[in-house]
Amino acid sequence: MGAASGEQPVVRSDRASPEELLDLATSVASTAGMLLTERFYHGHEQAIASKSSPTDLVSEADIEAERWIREKIEDARPRDGFIGEEGGEQPGSSGLSWVVDPLDGTINFLFGIPHWCVSIAVRDQDGPLAGVIRDPIRDEQFTATRDGPAILDMPERKRLFGPPPYEHARERRTLVVAQRDDLSTAMLATGLAYDADVRAAQAQVLERVVPRVRDIRRFGSAALDLAWTAAGRYDAYFERSVKPWDIAAGTLVCERAGLTVLELPEHERLPRGVLAGAPALVGPLLEIVG
């Protein structure tokens, strides 16, 4: 990834507060995002390989970004564990582990589609303590701690409360009342698995969902889908076959924005997944996709 300018993260004790942990996460995610952005616009990925299937790709950018993030976190917190998409799990002795997706949206990145992010969370035995999702293309940063608010910096600071009970029709410059706790008016986000058999099963689910909602978006980054749901850009999000590094930060942001987050159980050809959304929508949606 290359050397980054600026101050290096400060070594913290094992008893660091969630806010201190978040400071470290945001610092590392911000710099990693800048380095990836430079590579996105000016680099050319020479080394690309497949993982679980021919459609599941990993690039040199993924690997180098995770290596850089791991080094910076280890410098600051040498006794913490680390779980990364590309490098696997490294146990620690502090009781904390960092869960990192260095480049969520790799396919978008490789195809030149400007929709990808850096996702970093730190968790203890009870779950995520702090998390950040950094979208360097839009200069947006979504953060939360276990007991604090969900925040969007873009670059002004804004607290997140999930989908509002209305929407603004910009083309008419009027405020249109549209209760977004009704599934028929809901905007959903989802994702598709890399495995062809799972995709086929997901297509059957989508066939049931599409006539029941306003519309569905599929943009290719689970972390951003969760962040955008917390920001009220979607009313709900569901996806199967997601991994811990895809959703660790995003589920925390959604929960602290007041949304309901549920695990989708394994079902026939469908692996486990996640569902997040406005509380009034989660029940009806679960009946269709669960």
State the pLDDT at residue 88: 78
DSSP 190-222: E---SSHHHHHHHHHHHHHHGGGSSEEE--S-H
Closest CA to 43 of 67, 60, 66: 60
Residue type, 64: E
The pTM (predicted TM-score) of the whole model is 0.87
State the pLDDT at residue 87: 76
Classify each residue of 241-270 as buried b or exposed e, where b means 16 or more C-beta atoms within 10 Å of its C-beta. Answer: bbebbbbbbbbbbbbbbebbbbebeeeeeb
Query: If you ran DSSP here, which 8-state letter would residue 183 be given?
Result: G
Domains and CATH numbers, the chain: 18-159 (3.30.540.10), 167-289 (3.40.190.80)
- Alpha-carbon gap, residue 131 to 249, rounded angstroms: 4
- Alpha-carbon gap, residue 193 to 37, rounded angstroms: 26
Going by their DSSP bridges, the two strands 157-159 and 151-153 should be labelled as antiparallel
State the pLDDT at residue 102: 95
Please enumerate in sequence order all residues whose Cβ is within 8 A of that of 26, keeping only pairs 6 or more positions apart, or say none. 132, 134, 141, 143
List the pLDDT tens digit at each of the 290 positions of the chain. 544 444 444 444 577 999 999 999 999 999 999 999 998 998 665 444 444 444 444 578 888 899 999 999 999 999 999 999 777 789 999 999 999 999 999 999 988 999 999 999 999 999 999 999 999 999 999 999 999 999 999 878 999 988 875 444 444 334 444 456 689 999 999 999 989 999 999 999 999 999 999 999 999 999 999 999 999 999 999 999 999 999 999 999 999 999 999 999 998 899 999 999 999 999 999 999 98
Q: Which helix (H) or strand (E) covers residue 225, if one does? A: helix 222-230
Distance of CA 73 to the CA centre of its chain: 19
Distance of CA 279 to the CA centre of its chain: 20
Burial of 142 (0-12, 13-18, 19+ CB in 10 A): buried
State the pLDDT at residue 6: 44
State the pLDDT at residue 2: 46
State the pLDDT at residue 231: 95
